[in-house]
């Protein structure tokens, strides 16, 4: 078995099991069994379970960030120094994920499930890895987002980003199931591109909603 094939089989198995069971509940033995390799192969190529988790994310995020940087370049060239609209910025974010090549038809759904787990499960090492490896692209996105939402305070912007991530993670990780439900109920077929075209204006409207005053505390 070629080395690259071994690595891909390990990553494919880890990606699927992490998405199904979570990080803590997935053992290296489960991964090696599914990938049909021995534990020595995992240790040789990755060194540890944490490093394997990092590699699973890097396999998606590295090409995604490269695609996204090109989208940002095109967006800023088109704008000619003007602030971007939220819909244009969010479209670049979502369409970059669709345009990049995926190993299977469920690539985006699986990754969005993993991204949700990165926040809901105790994986501080993963958050540090993501911040260290992809901070440049994230910082560029944040700069553009601030330009697109000058009316928001830093606190409002923070929470709306979390709400946006939550809606995106749920919708995209469940896209196949949601499409099947719509097909069964209304007989309408839906492609992932159409889901994104409906999601982007929803997210933009939420980000631009009038800020509310904090609820007063009861005495």
Task: State pLDDT tens for residues 186-199.
Answer: 999 998 889 999 99
What CA–CA distance (Å, rounded) separates 195 from 77?
27
Give CB contacts under 8 A, 24+ apart, made by 4-7: 6/37, 6/41, 6/45, 7/45
pLDDT at 176: 87
- Based on the domain organization, do 26 and 80 belong to the same domain? no
What is the percentage of the chain residues whose pLDDT exceeds 70? 92
16, 118: one domain: no
Question: Do 67 and 117 belong to one domain?
Answer: yes
Name the residue among 143, 141, 142 with its Cα closest to residue 96: 141
Mean per-residue pLDDT over the chain, rounded: 89
Q: Are 16 and 34 in contact (CB under 8 A)?
A: yes
Nearest to 64 by CA among 108, 97, 92: 97
**Among the residues of the chain, which ranges form H helices?**
3-21, 28-35, 39-45, 49-79, 86-99, 107-120, 124-148, 154-173, 175-186, 192-208
Q: Domain with 22 in it: what CATH number?
A: 1.10.10.60
Whole-model pTM: value is 0.84
pLDDT tens digits for range 28-74: 999 999 999 999 999 999 999 999 999 999 999 999 999 999 999 99
pLDDT for the residue numbered 50 = 94
Q: Both 93 and 171 in a single domain?
A: yes
**28 vs 105, which has greater pLDDT?**
28
Q: Is pLDDT at 177 greater than 60 in this prediction?
A: yes
Domain that holds residue 201: 57-208
Give the chain's domain count: 2
Which residue carries 């690259």 as its tokens? 4
Q: Are residues 123 and 173 in the same domain?
A: yes
68 with 172, same domain?
yes
Classify residue 158 by burial, with Cβ atoms within 10 Å: 0-12, 13-18, 19+.
Answer: exposed
> Same domain for 43 and 61?
no
Q: Quick check: helix, strand or coil at residue 23? A: coil
């Amino acid at each position: 078995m070629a080395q690259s094939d071994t690595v891909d089989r390990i990553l494919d198995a880890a990606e699927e099991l992490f998405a199904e069971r979570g990080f803590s509940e997935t053992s290296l033995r489960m991964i090696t069994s599914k990938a049909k390799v021995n534990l020595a192969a995992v240790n040789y190529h990755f060194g540890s379970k944490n490093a394997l988790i990092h590699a699973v994310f890097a396999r998606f995020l590295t090409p995604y960030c490269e695609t996204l940087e090109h989208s940002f370049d095109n967006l800023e060239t088109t704008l000619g120094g003007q602030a971007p609209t939220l819909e244009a910025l969010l479209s670049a974010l979502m369409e970059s994920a669709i345009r990049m090549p995926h190993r299977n038809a469920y690539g985006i759904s699986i990754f969005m499930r993993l991204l949700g787990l990165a926040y809901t499960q105790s994986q501080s090492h993963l958050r540090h890895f993501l911040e260290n490896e992809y901070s440049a692209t994230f910082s560029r996105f944040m700069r553009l987002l601030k330009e697109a939402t000058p009316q928001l305070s830093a606190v409002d912007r923070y929470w709306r980003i979390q709400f946006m991530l939550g809606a995106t993670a749920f919708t995209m990780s469940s896209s196949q199931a949601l499409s099947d439900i719509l097909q069964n109920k209304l007989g309408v077929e839906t492609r992932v591109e159409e889901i994104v075209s409906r999601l982007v204006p929803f997210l933009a409207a939420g980000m631009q909603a009038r800020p509310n005053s904090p609820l007063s505390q009861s005495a």
